[in-house]
Amino acid sequence: MQKRFVYADNAATSPLSKEAFDAMKPWLTEKWGNPSSIYSAARDARKAVEMARADIADSIGAKPEEIYFTSGGTEADNWAIKSSAKAFGKKGRHLITSAIEHHAVSSSMESLTSEGFEITVLPVDKYGMVSPADLEKAIRPDTIFISIMLANNEIGTIQPIEELAEIAKKHNIPFHTDAVQAVGHIPVNVDELKVDMLSMSSHKFGGPQGVGALYIRKGVRIPPLMHGGGHERGRRSGTENVAGVCGMAAALKHAVEIMPEANAHLKHISDRLFDKLLQIPYTQATGHPEKRLPGTVSVVFNYIEGESIILLLDSKGISASSGSACTSGSLDPSHVLLAIGLPHEVAHGSVRLSLGKDITEEDADYIAESLTEVVDRLRTMSPLWKG
């Protein structure tokens, strides 16, 4: 087995696409200009930002004036949640979210509890699915906001957002979805999803890091999080990241164009990889068997610990991640793995491989062979393994 480099952590961040780089390059070299200034160099920058906005809007079925650029997914989530609480807090103090959200959502929610807001956290089933019936039951007269993610970053499960948002709509409650892992990976249309707000992040689909957007449906009014010079029509101040938004738009346009082909390929490779990994004894797949991101292969190996697996994979040239406590910097494994009902000791042995479109069968086979070897080696030295 010859050593090769396989990057399998695209859910953490993805390599910059050529399309994104080409769109950014002029704005990092021969062109510059503050889009708010009035001379011609600045007008070019303004034009570039507005074209990027229109392209991004188009990719998700939104209108350009419903797209607000941010510094990334984290800011978009913080803004949607904290500003909705502020905007609708007079009507009620109750918010609803799910047990498997990214920390950008769950910690934003938590921050509101000190301001007298009450948060209901909906459970998920063993596949990581939120039940629409649970949402219906959790809604109270004082519920003012709901945030449930579209696709999960650890296990890849895709939620029935249309159904969940429909329930919210029936009760006249604004609905936000963190679509950071979904945009550019599966078809996303804000009207079909019936969401009022949607977060996205450029570096998850081949764009640069540090840029993202919040979609806010026309007619939904939330105050700014960032105050200042009144950029983004007064809703998000700060000089636009011209190169960043151009890269983001080009990356998304490209990702959407190649999506059908890329996803067919990713599904094929993921199936192959799952097949091989599940032959390792005491191994189970996590996430939904069908309703999942096509490039996410998430598994747990019993009797061993995730950080050790990741370090040994790294020494074989493979970049992957784990939801074990050791990799989260705390002593508890990932809240997502606990929410799907895994015992702590099993959740510690998790591995997430998030594949990119250029992955080959040979790469997948190399990952499977390497993991088989690594798991065996760690089990041999584990006091829990009686194999």
Partner 1 sequence: MMYSDKVLDHFQNPRNVGEIEDANAVGLVGNAKCGDIMQMFMKIEDDKIVDVKFKTFGCGAAVATSSMATELVLGKTIDEALQLTNRAVMEALDGLPPVKVHCSVLAEQAIRAAISDYYKRQGIDPEPIVGKIEEVDHDHEIACD
Ligand X SMILES: Cc1ncc(COP(=O)(O)O)c(C=O)c1O
Residues in touch with ligand X (CB under 6 A): 72-74, 77, 102, 104, 149, 153, 178, 180-181, 201, 212
| Nearest distance, CB of residue 387 and partner 1, angstroms | 13
Q: Which is nearer to partner 1, 223 or 343 (CB)?
A: 343
Mention every residue, 6+ apart, whose C-beta is less than 8 A from residue 211: 69, 70, 71, 72, 201, 202, 203, 241, 244, 245, 247, 248
326 among known catalytic residues = yes
Task: Identify which of 300, 317, 301 has the alpha carbon closest to the alpha carbon of residue 378.
Answer: 301
Q: Which does 189 bind (CB under 5 to 8 A by kind): partner 1, ligand X, none?
A: none
Instruction: Give me the sign of the Cα torsion angle 238, 243, 246, 251.
Output: negative
Kind and range of the H or E run holding 43: helix 40-59
The residue ranges of DSSP E strands in 111-232, in sequence order, are 118-122, 143-147, 175-178, 197-201, 212-216
Classify burial at 5, counting beta carbons within 10 Å of its beta carbon; exposed 0-12, middle 13-18, buried 19 or more: exposed
Q: Which is nearer to partner 1, 157 or 322 (CB)?
A: 322
Q: Rounded to whole angstroms, how far apart are CA atoms 49 and 41?
A: 13
Classify burial at 91, counting beta carbons within 10 Å of its beta carbon; exposed 0-12, middle 13-18, buried 19 or more: middle
| Nearest distance, CB of residue 245 and ligand X, angstroms | 13
Residue 352 is a binding residue for partner 1 (CB under 8 A)? no
Q: Which is nearer to ligand X, 180 or 304 (CB)?
A: 180
Question: Which residues in 302-331 contact partner 1 (CB under 8 A)?
Answer: 303-305, 307-308, 311-312, 315, 324-327, 329-331
Q: Which is nearer to partner 1, 24 or 310 (CB)?
A: 310
Are the CB atoms for 303 and 384 separated by under 8 Å? yes
| Nearest distance, CB of residue 13 and ligand X, angstroms | 8
Q: Out of 326, 338, 365, 382, pick the active-site residue.
A: 326
Are the CB atoms for 112 and 135 separated by under 8 Å? no
**Nearest-5° angle of CA 116, CA 174, CA 118?**
20
Q: Which is nearer to ligand X, 102 or 194 (CB)?
A: 102
Question: Which residues in 363-382 contact partner 1 (CB under 8 A)?
Answer: 380-382
Q: Which does 201 bind (CB under 5 to 8 A by kind): ligand X, partner 1, none?
A: ligand X
Residue 332 is a binding residue for partner 1 (CB under 8 A)? yes
Residue 333 is a binding residue for partner 1 (CB under 8 A)? yes
Q: Rounded to whole angstroms, how far apart are CA atoms 62 and 196?
A: 11
| Nearest distance, CB of residue 181 and ligand X, angstroms | 5
The Cα-based distances of 288 to 22, 148, 223, 278, 296 in angstroms read 37, 16, 36, 15, 11
| Nearest distance, CB of residue 25 and partner 1, angstroms | 33
Q: Which does 181 bind (CB under 5 to 8 A by kind): ligand X, partner 1, none?
A: ligand X
Residues serving a catalytic function are: 326
Contacts with partner 1, residue ranges (CB under 8 A): 303-305, 307-308, 311-312, 315, 324-327, 329-333, 343-345, 348, 380-385
